[in-house]
């Protein structure tokens, strides 16, 4: 079973206005609300691709109930730790080609809440995969992902990690099975300047060899991606299309990689599926469908180093 973990979920409240005016009255043309958070997005895309998962993390209050109701209605299994405080709301206001975001304050995660989450991992075994995705609430330490990955390792459970900054720098020390930084985040990890593909491959090889990370996929947006790991070293071209909706593209890539790797055990096919999935979401107004992913797959070409 695949388990996705969202430690900092939110309701994404998306509002469309004709012309945003700061300090004035703005009327929305349209709006919608959906369950947000990188791990939750991975679960949603996995379901669209034909896979199954259980969503874990922290939710609370009426906003938390919206998220669990949303997942139940869409047929996604979940087992969140319940908090007393409300889950945050993130506002995304779209005006023309611009988008303004206001992210809400995360609820306090108490030590007892965190321990409840760790207890849920105790039932997992070597057949399971855990996806740790997204930012950390301010009340959790920067080494939280590192600690969780280490716990999972002790049980023989593979950890997939998609985060950035200090939490990523900490967590790679525990050797997750898969990470997906972009080339800027890769440079930050090593406090170096990346000048081209040779530098990206060199640093990704260090993650694979020194940190014992099985699969390293470096995203380069419209320029495709570079994979270094058990499947070798190769560059993937990105499909050509009109970017419409970037939110969730990275989560879709993670879901695509896990889905195909579990199906075939082939890292090259998994990486191709990841790029097609991320692009399909970027070219759509919402998260990708399997049909959209399959249609883009032929455009994802492999060039081995």
Written as six digits, the tokens of 278 are: 């991320």
Q: How far is CA 32 from CA 59, 62, 91, 103, 151, in A?
A: 20, 17, 11, 16, 38
Residues contacting residue 297 through CB under 8 Å, at least 6 positions apart: 272, 273, 276
Catalytic residue among 12, 113, 162, 251: 251
Query: Could you give the 3-state DSSP secondary structure of residue 101?
Result: strand
First to last CA, the chain: 34
| Phi and psi angles of residue 108, each rounded to the nearest 5 degrees, phi first | -70, 130
β-sheet bridge partners, residue 90: 12
Residues 259 and 51: beta-carbon distance below 8 Å: yes
Of 223, 224, 225, 221, the residue nearest 204 (C-alpha): 225
- Beta-carbon contacts of 21 under 8 Å, excluding residues fewer than 6 positions away, are none
Q: Is 113 a catalytic residue?
A: no
Closest CA to 85 of 106, 116, 102, 114: 106
Shortest CA distance to 66 belongs to which of 101, 93, 90?
90
Question: What is the Cα gyration radius of the chain?
Answer: 19
What does DSSP assign to residue 182? B
CB 6 within 8 A of CB 242: no
Task: Enumerate the active-site residues.
Answer: 251
């Amino acid at each position: 079973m695949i388990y996705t973990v969202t430690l900092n979920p939110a309701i994404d409240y998306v509002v469309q206005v004709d012309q945003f005016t700061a300090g004035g009255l703005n009327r929305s043309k349209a709006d919608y609300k959906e369950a947000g958070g990188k791990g939750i997005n991975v679960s949603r895309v996995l379901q669209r691709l034909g896979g199954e998962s259980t969503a874990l993390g922290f939710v609370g209050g009426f906003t938390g109930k919206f998220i669990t109701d949303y997942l139940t209605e869409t047929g996604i299994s979940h087992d969140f730790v319940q908090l007393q405080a409300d889950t945050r709301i993130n506002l995304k206001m779209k005006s023309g080609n611009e988008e303004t975001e206001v992210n809400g304050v995360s609820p306090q995660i108490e030590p007892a809440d965190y321990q409840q989450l760790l207890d849920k991992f105790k039932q997992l075994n070597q057949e399971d995969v855990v996806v740790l995705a997204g930012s950390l609430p301010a009340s959790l330490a920067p080494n939280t992902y590192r600690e969780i990955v280490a716990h999972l390792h002790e049980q023989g459970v593979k950890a997939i990690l998609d985060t950035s900054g200090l939490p990523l720098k900490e967590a790679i020390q525990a050797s997750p099975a898969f990470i997906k930084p972009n080339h800027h985040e890769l440079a930050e990890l090593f406090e170096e300047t990346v000048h081209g593909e040779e530098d990206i491959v060199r640093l990704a090889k260090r993650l694979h060899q020194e940190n014992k990370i099985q699969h390293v996929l470096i995203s380069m947006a419209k320029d495709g991606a570079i994979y270094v790991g058990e499947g070798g070293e190769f560059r993937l071209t990105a499909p050509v299309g009109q970017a419409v909706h970037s939110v969730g593209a990275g989560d879709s890539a993670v879901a695509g990689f896990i889905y195909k790797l579990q199906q075939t055990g082939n890292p090259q096919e998994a990486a191709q599926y990841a790029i097609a999935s991320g692009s399909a979401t970027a070219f759509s107004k919402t998260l990708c469908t399997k049909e959209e992913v399959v249609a883009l797959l032929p455009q994802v070409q492999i060039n081995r180093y």
